[in-house]
Structure 1
């Protein structure tokens, strides 16, 4: 039975984080990054995989999240050798530990995003993702898992290529913040919708970025019944700096409670990301065995479609430059871009926030907000501007219209705006 068939009738529990688990075990004594350990310290990699399988994980990810030329500072041949070694170790752990209870343990070939500052062009990144995925296909992984990506555009030609090459299942998992947006400005709803409509992707999911509470709140606003299996892998919580190190506090009890609620929303694959370890997975499996975590009927909650026309127009970057001239860092003049966003007529600001995040990625200089244009009631321009600034960091400029306010009301608004920065 392949992994897609298995997901039709049961919940699959995956492993937890590999990187933070490795650093926790060997960070002080070891001098090897987790991915480099595939070839330099294979016994460490094998031990962590085994612990996750013993904890009950039915799916483990290869230790290859950062196995790329930029992150490992290595050539392509070394990276591919590293990937092959990683898959062998994961298979060895799965076969050795699962054989005693005849439980099938699936292997996911894990591919993380190449760092944005690596200096690689789009075509170079696409080419490298194809090579990594192809090597994993040849090694016989059960699924290729593109993990923690902020966008799908770079992966679209990759998954098309891999599917044409060999029919290995493919999963794409996105990383969004507590407001539901990725680093590239795409909303969770838009990403889910985009991948749900792609025939080359078999599973979709969200991982990293947020802890279990914010992940649960995000999923409650989405309809995750998208016609494809969905994975959800939140962080253990939020890290703190301790002695110049990022440390995740133990949050097993709160994590397990929220994972139980996430499973009830209809998640097909659950597990953990940064800060989780085999004990977290063991506790999840204990809840599964007692029936506290069961595959529940998928719940349809708020279903709001993003304004795809607005998104597509701004993504093309066809913004006409106009306005006052200023100087950039090298002394050359350029014109500022100001874009107006009208506050909503009700309390649903999803479309406006989607547009604001797209404008941020399009390098708009300032976003302006009219004050109830055409004499129709809309959300307050100052409060709307403050929310957009808080969530995106954009420069904002609310308008104040004297038509509908007397002097007292206008002074009150200005004072309130000053108090809020």
Structure 2
């Protein structure tokens, strides 16, 4: 029925429910979904206002009708939570049916499903597949034939849910909307282009598009760069504008006429379904409906594929990656950014390492969660003053998504093309009252985000990036599995923890056999008996065998201890000659001359 309608008409949906409900009842602090049970007449009236304004499809008031709603109300047992969610969905569906029954003409109701908060899976160990299937079953019991998944940042869970719907109800119509920011990326770091491509290839999805996060003007700019599938219907439901906080409450700009004008431009791209998200009201839908009137759908816009013919190699301006890809062994040396404003010693060390033909300097990002000079800014300074490739580490601990994106742009502008991506050491428990971790990404999610940017923003001169490898974890199978996830996320190399034992060499040899990747093997000279004992006993993730410690004495001179450190490092390097694609030297206590001695002897 809805398919037949869409062949001849542009379908107008309703606008926002949550923000419009808040306008009417902002003083009670209640979520709109709760009002299905407590204020059914008000919800019915909101649906009617949208229908009277020209909407042909209304969405059930169930965007947040999932287990988190029940938990928010303090319901503890799963059985009682299920019963509450079911009652909310049934009441919401009934409210929509009553509104449609009162309205004149042909109208549709879509079962509206929003993304579930991640804490349900992390803290309450809920299974996302089971949770979505439970909600779908509740709607199927109500008689739903149209399902609308909106504001999603990934497609994986939606694909599974869509398949489940079609298995249960083959004639169902499945709609999917993704929420992207003005640069075209979701909160999960996935590009609109990738999501649209995947949706177009998913047979169980009938209509796809975008909603929320941005207004109609920016949504138009993003959409006109997309190839819209001729085999699917396209839906677009922008916000009225951008959110602001007024007297403690969310508010959106008022501009219904402007919105309608921009929506007509969107319709002219070949979009089939138009409506509104946050901040839109019946006035917006009335203006939109009057603007579009009875117009037939426009032909879909087709644009040239971006970057396929003229994209240059991702190793342009990147001698480090060129050498690594040629199969030559590379040498990376880590220098510690200072705790204060004086970087002179670090710069002198970088000049000395350049004379030893080091391929790249790496700079850690406040390791052990102790503040040091910013790794990216310092890398830019080293690169410009020493003229040597640099690889700043970027930890996910300290920056939100906005700051991470900004950091990447700044790094690229300053000529940095190699990055080391790490999740980051946790903030010590004693400092967590004053210092908050961010972790909008973990390392793999951030790698995926950079990979997306490489295919769009940095297409002609991409970042290359590496990942951390702790070969000392007990379950090597799990380590390999995680490595593969990083490879799938675009990692070009791995850098290991310091290596001291034959067992570690054997583990790394297995990883090389099983994975198609490059591994830079970690070498960290131990410069005294005290240093060896500290690393062995107090540094997590590093394994120092007793036979290594026994080569040091407490009464050794500095020169004697360094001579032992050189011999041990060279012996480990020799064992790794058939495994390593390069070596990653960690400089102890800024002893650059020690690292240069090892490198010089290694090359001889």
Fold match (TM-score > 0.5): yes
Aligned residue in 2 for 1:374: none
Aligned residue in 2 for 1:143: 146
Instruction: Pick the aligned partner of 1:244 from 233, 241, 248.
Output: 248
- Give, in whole Å, the separation in 1 of the partners of 2:201 and 2:449: 33
Q: Measured at CA, do residues 211 and 242 of structure 1 come closer, stay the same or move farther in structure 2, by a change above 3 Å?
A: same
Equivalent residues of 2:110, 2:148 under 8 A apart: yes
Equivalent residues of 2:10, 2:296 under 8 A apart: yes
- Give, in whole Å, the separation in 2 of the partners of 1:88 and 1:359: 42
Aligned residue in 2 for 1:152: 155
TM-superposed deviation, 1:97: 1.1
Residue 300 (structure 1) aligned with residue 302 (structure 2): yes
Residue 97 (structure 1) aligned with residue 96 (structure 2): no
Alignment deviations for residues 301-329 of structure 1 (CA, whole Å, 9 cap, x no partner): 2433899xx9xxxxxxxxxxx97577445
Aligned residue in 2 for 1:85: 91
Aligned residue in 2 for 1:6: 5
Instruction: Pick the aligned partner of 2:117 from 111, 115, 118.
Output: 115
Alignment deviations for residues 260-308 of structure 1 (CA, whole Å, 9 cap, x no partner): 000010010001000001111111111133x6x652222212433899x
Q: SS at 1:88's partner residue?
A: helix
Equivalent residues of 1:11, 1:294 under 8 A apart: yes
Mapping 1:170-319, distance limit 5 Å: 170-289=174-293, 294-304=296-306
Equivalent residues of 1:337, 1:365 under 8 A apart: no
Equivalent residues of 1:323, 1:337 under 8 A apart: no
Equivalent residues of 1:265, 1:299 under 8 A apart: yes
- Give, in whole Å, the separation in 2 of the partners of 1:116 and 1:305: 35
Equivalent residues of 1:71, 1:114 under 8 A apart: no
TM-superposed deviation, 1:361: 5.2
Q: Measured at CA, do residues 224 and 146 of structure 1 come closer, stay the same or move farther in structure 2, by a change above 3 Å?
A: same
Q: Using CA pairs under 8 Å that are at least 6 residues apart, name the structure with larger relative contact order, 1 or 2.
A: 1
- Give, in whole Å, the separation in 2 of the partners of 1:112 and 1:21: 17
Aligned residue in 2 for 1:27: 26
Q: Measured at CA, do residues 328 and 129 of structure 1 come closer, stay the same or move farther in structure 2, by a change above 3 Å?
A: farther
Q: Measured at CA, do residues 196 and 366 of structure 1 come closer, stay the same or move farther in structure 2, by a change above 3 Å?
A: closer
Q: Measured at CA, do residues 109 and 323 of structure 1 come closer, stay the same or move farther in structure 2, by a change above 3 Å?
A: farther
Alignment deviations for residues 101-150 of structure 1 (CA, whole Å, 9 cap, x no partner): xx211000000011123344786122111111121122122311111000
TM-superposed deviation, 1:380: 11
Instruction: Pick the aligned partner of 2:38 from 37, 40, 44.
Output: 40
Q: SS at 1:201's partner residue?
A: coil
Q: Which region of structure 1 is more displaced relative to structure 2, 193-202 or 117-126?
A: 117-126
Alignment deviations for residues 19-73 of structure 1 (CA, whole Å, 9 cap, x no partner): 0000001112x34210000011101100100111111100000000000111342
- Give, in whole Å, the separation in 1 of the partners of 2:37 and 2:461: 58
TM-superposed deviation, 1:248: 0.8
Mapping 1:248-397, distance limit 5 Å: 248-289=252-293, 294-304=296-306, 324=334, 327-329=367-369, 362-363=445-446
Aligned residue in 2 for 1:130: 133
Equivalent residues of 1:337, 1:366 under 8 A apart: no
Alignment deviations for residues 322-355 of structure 1 (CA, whole Å, 9 cap, x no partner): 975774459xxxx98679xx99xxxxxxxx9xxx
- Give, in whole Å, the separation in 1 of the partners of 2:392 and 2:210: 36
Which protein has the larger Cα radius of gyration, Structure 1 or Structure 2? 2
- Give, in whole Å, the separation in 2 of the partners of 1:328 and 1:94: 60
Equivalent residues of 2:54, 2:289 under 8 A apart: yes
TM-superposed deviation, 1:5: 2.0
TM-superposed deviation, 1:365: 12
Q: Measured at CA, do residues 220 and 164 of structure 1 come closer, stay the same or move farther in structure 2, by a change above 3 Å?
A: same
TM-superposed deviation, 1:249: 1.9
TM-superposed deviation, 1:199: 1.1
- Give, in whole Å, the separation in 1 of the partners of 2:109 and 2:449: 47
Equivalent residues of 2:153, 2:178 under 8 A apart: yes
- Give, in whole Å, the separation in 2 of the partners of 1:34 and 1:96: 22
Q: Measured at CA, do residues 329 and 45 of structure 1 come closer, stay the same or move farther in structure 2, by a change above 3 Å?
A: same
Q: Measured at CA, do residues 87 and 189 of structure 1 come closer, stay the same or move farther in structure 2, by a change above 3 Å?
A: same
Aligned residue in 2 for 1:402: none
- After TM superposition, the score normalised by the length of structure 2 is 0.51
TM-superposed deviation, 1:81: 1.2
Q: SS at 2:226's partner residue?
A: coil
Equivalent residues of 2:121, 2:128 under 8 A apart: no
State the number of aligned residues: 333
TM-superposed deviation, 1:366: 12
In structure 2, runs of 5+ residues without a counterpart are 76-80, 315-331, 335-363, 371-390, 396-407, 410-417, 419-439, 451-459, 464-604
- Give, in whole Å, the separation in 2 of the partners of 1:303 and 1:174: 21
Equivalent residues of 1:212, 1:255 under 8 A apart: yes
